[in-house]
Structure 1
Amino acid sequence: MPRGLVAYRSTYQYPPEYKSTCQPAATFELDWIMTPTRTRQYRYPELGSHQNLVLEEVGLKPPKGNEVLVKTRAVSLQFRDLSIGNGHYPARCLPDLVPCSDMAGEVIAVGEDVKKWRIGDRVCANFFLDKLNDVQTPETDESALGGTTQGVLTEYRTFPAHSLVTIPQHLSYEEAATLPCAALTAYNALLCGYTPLKAGDTVLIQGTGGVSIFALQFAVASGATVIAISSSDEKLKVATALGAAHVINYCATPDWDREAVRLTGGVGVDRVIEVAGNATLARSIASVKLGGSIDIIGLVGGPNDSGPVDIVLPAVMRSLKFRGLYVGSVPQFHDMNKLISANPKTTRPIIDRVFPFEQAKEAFAYLASQAHVGKVVVRVF
């Protein structure tokens, strides 16, 4: 038997479309499934920089009764991953952390109690392993991959069966790896809030990073009008190609909030996808219409040099709705994949660059440069 592999007894269920006169049973036992006993993974001996990542080989246990062993095919990177690596993330993280939350892979073994998944299934894991509904609790927060739970920048990993979702058929592993955080956050913001987005609404989207690009795509697929802002004319060309009706370079037009109001005939936008946080929140408030919504999903802009932003007065006097959100649930992931499958061209993930597994540090550095449009991905296998 090859080094690092073990014979593992597993139950395999034929796909529904499979027909055979010589195999009438729906399932059979595979006595010699070769599953790995070792995995290569990246780990932080200490936080402070992504340069602290070390690549190591460690032991790998077989899946428990309710677990699924997945071969990681691709991992996508988030701003959160940079923040955690730099030691600036505003939440507790595990020591000796294996980073990253977003993966796509192939099922290679299932526990004896698992009924839903079969060997060969293509899956993603939800960002929160245990968020099975839309209620956020301390327990669901503790199941966040790449933070309070060990992450996915590894060749193989076991997951609870309930945390997995099926990858849309038309997507590659690299494309699917971009869905669990960036795409689901954008979907939750637009379609699961106080008032779900509808055709004819106007949405202002900040930037052209992962969440922002998905928000643009989902808004266009929903029939909304998108105003996109960025500091780069080249990036705004991409936004226009993806369906943005209006684009604003906020370096050339610092008062982008006034321009957004002008573009809406003096009314203001229906909602803002706020990714920069305090640095832009005042202008987001100024750009939104009476009774409009601001979905706060990030703080990539850093602190506001002008001081704290007052949201109480505009919230009351202008009837604004502020919603903070933290990725999403497994059911939302399933629903989002239906939207993606129904709109394959409009919603196809935009990948800027793919790095091999051995160059994960370079992938982190490229993400930190902010030169990308869309997502940065690490191909594992």
Structure 2
Amino acid sequence: MKAMVLQPPIGLDRLTLADRPDPGAPGTGEIRVALHGSSLNFHDLGVATGRMPTEDGRIPLADGAGVVEAVGEGVTEFKAGDGVVSCFFPNWQDGAPTIGDFSGTPGDGIDGFARESVVMPATAFTHAPRGYDAVEAATITTAGLTAWRALIVDGKLKAGDTVLLLGTGGVSIWALQIAKLMGATVAITSSSGEKLERARELGADFTLNYREQADWGRLVRDWSGGRGVDHVVEVGGPGTLAQSIEAVRVGGHISLIGVLTGAAGEVPTAALMGRQARLQGLIVGSRREQQDFVRALDASGIRPVVDRRFPLEQLADAFRFEMGASHFGKIGVEW
């Protein structure tokens, strides 16, 4: 079996194509999946560059999608030929979060999906959305489900709500599509006028360039009539949180789902207290939430935005493209 492997010392120059043993036939409760696609996340980049430590020889990539080749005894949810997509937390099936690390996350604590096939418990996958190819399906595992949980599961988004999104990466563009599907009004930021135009084509109602308008939080508040937005999907962390608090309404909801500007920094606690806003950290979601998301996608017909696709053997180049931050939406890998 061909697989991309992180050889020591871990770094993009040491990401190599290697032979790994075939996973064999599925056992009781397991399925064998022929993998055909993945998508890149900021988390994957951290692992591949060594910023987030993992074991030498790790197979990267948290997202994986493909076709069921065989099912083990006792598996009734899937059959050979079904399109499936992986779960970011294969051990979190339902209910409130109980996992706060990445020890069981594919591509980090365990081997990921940059390989031709895998045998895993059936509960580590869900059905893929109907009509999605493998790359499209793989975008829901991390980015799509994070946006879904932030707005729908935790945020309780409803028609008529206002939403602020930061940047035009995978989570933010999925959140834009979900918010518009639900009848929300959306503001979005970027440093690129071209990306903002593409966001408007997807339905964004208000766009602004954060490099040209440093006080974008106030401008979003003004756009909302002085009330502030109901929801913020906060991907930046300490470098953007103050502006997000400025933009949110009293009693609003901020989903802290990223740390693109750093892992630590000052929090304007007085401003947050004054807003009486709910600041909630979250990491992706459960298998049950992913199943709910897939049902919504099947009913809606929306498709993910994939900026560019790379063959598996060019995975290092795909990560370098991600580091350039020129992409809009997701970056795919296919084989």
Q: Tell whether 2:296 aligns with 1:335.
A: no
Equivalent residue, structure 1, for 2:34: 71
Q: TM-score, normalised by structure 2?
A: 0.96
Equivalent residue, structure 2, for 1:21: none
1:168 to 125, 129, 154: 129
Q: TM-score, normalised by structure 1?
A: 0.84
CA distance in 2, matches of 1:369, 1:322: 30
Equivalent residue, structure 1, for 2:254: 294
2:12 to 41, 50, 53: 50
Whichever residue aligns with residue 161 of structure 1, its letter is A
Equivalent residue, structure 2, for 1:36: none
2:55 to 62, 87, 94: 94
Equivalent residue, structure 2, for 1:276: 236
Whichever residue aligns with residue 72 of structure 1, its letter is L
Whichever residue aligns with residue 298 of structure 1, its letter is G
Equivalent residue, structure 2, for 1:318: 275
CA distance in 2, matches of 1:164, 1:140: 19
Equivalent residue, structure 2, for 1:4: none
Equivalent residue, structure 2, for 1:85: 48
Equivalent residue, structure 2, for 1:350: 305
1:123 shift after superposition: 0.2
Equivalent residue, structure 2, for 1:375: 330
Gaps of 5+ in 2: none
CA distance in 2, matches of 1:230, 1:217: 16
Whichever residue aligns with residue 67 of structure 2, its letter is E
RCO comparison, higher one (Cα < 8 Å, 6+): 2
Q: Which moved more, 1:148-157 or 1:134-143?
A: 134-143
The share of aligned pairs that are identical, in percent, is: 38
Equivalent residue, structure 1, for 2:170: 210
Q: Tell whether 2:210 aligns with 1:247.
A: no
1:152 to 99, 113, 118: 113
String of CA shifts for 1:93-121, please: whole Å, max 9, x gaps. 33321110111100111112222211111
Gaps of 5+ in 1: 1-38
Equivalent residue, structure 2, for 1:24: none
Whichever residue aligns with residue 279 of structure 2, its letter is F
Please tell me whether the aligned partners of residues 47 and 85 of structure 1 are also in contact (alpha carbons under 8 angstroms).
no
1:223 shift after superposition: 0.4
1:141 shift after superposition: 4.6
Q: Secondary structure at the match of 2:188?
A: strand
Equivalent residue, structure 2, for 1:364: 319
Q: Which has the larger radius of gyration?
A: 1
Q: Tell whether 2:270 aligns with 1:309.
A: no
1:230 shift after superposition: 0.3
Please tell me whether the aligned partners of residues 130 and 140 of structure 1 are also in contact (alpha carbons under 8 angstroms).
no
CA distance in 1, matches of 2:268, 2:226: 23
Whichever residue aligns with residue 374 of structure 1, its letter is G
Whichever residue aligns with residue 40 of structure 1, its letter is K
Size of the aligned set, in residue pairs, is 334
Please tell me whether the aligned partners of residues 270 and 292 of structure 1 are also in contact (alpha carbons under 8 angstroms).
yes
2:143 to 155, 175, 182: 182
RMSD: 1.6
Please tell me whether the aligned partners of residues 33 and 119 of structure 2 are also in contact (alpha carbons under 8 angstroms).
yes
CA distance in 1, matches of 2:86, 2:99: 19
Describe the shift of the 1:46–1:125 C-alpha distance in structure 2 as closer, same or farther (beyond 3 A): same
CA distance in 1, matches of 2:228, 2:194: 26
String of CA shifts for 1:166-195, please: whole Å, max 9, x gaps. 1121212221111100000000000111x4
1:120 to 81, 84, 96: 81
Please tell me whether the aligned partners of residues 87 and 287 of structure 2 are also in contact (alpha carbons under 8 angstroms).
yes
1:367 shift after superposition: 1.0
CA distance in 1, matches of 2:277, 2:85: 35
Whichever residue aligns with residue 323 of structure 1, its letter is Q
Q: Secondary structure at the match of 2:119?
A: strand
